[in-house]
Amino acid sequence: QVQLVESGGGLVQAGGSLRLSCAASGRTSSRYYMGWFRQAPGKEREFVAAISRSGGSTDYADSVKGRFTISRDNAKNTVYLQMNSLKPEDTAVYYCAAVEPGTAWSIRSNVYEYDYWGQGTQVTVSS
C-alpha cells in the first residue's frame, strides 16, 4: 500500500510552465510504476503520463508529448510532472496514481488499473 499527495498546481498563463509533485508514503514507491491523470469538469479522467519503477521507461498521451515530462526520484519517494508550453485545454485536476508490482506495464494508460490515487491538484491555464 502507498499513500500519494500531489502538490504544485495553480494558475498559469498559456505558454507557461508548472511542475507538479507527488509524494509517496507508507511504503517505498520504487516497487510501483506511477502515472499522472487529469480530469476536466464534465469529462472522464484521462491518462497523461506514466513512468516505470526505475524511471527507465516513460509514456505520454499524444496531447502532451513534447510538452510534459514525467520523472521520479525514488530516494525521495517522489514523482514529478514538468509541464511546459501549457495550453488552456490542459486545465484540469491532476492526479497522481500508483500500480501494484504485479500489474503489467502494458496497461499503464488505463485509468481503471491503478490501485492508489492522490487527492488531486488543480491546474488552471489562462488564455
Question: Does the structure show a pLDDT above 70 at 28?
Answer: no
Pick from 34, 66, 29, 60: which is nearest to 46 by CA? 60
User: Does pLDDT of 29 surpass 70?
Assistant: no
Residue that is written with C-alpha cell 491538484 in the block: 121
Q: Cα dist. 115→35, 65, 98, 108, 111 in Å?
A: 11, 25, 6, 12, 9
In the block, which residue shows the cell 487529469?
Answer: 38
Distance CA 24, CA 100 (A): 13
Find out whether 56 and 123 touch, Cβ atoms under 8 Å.
Answer: no
Is the model's pLDDT at 30 over the cut of 80?
no
Better pLDDT: 19 or 28: 19
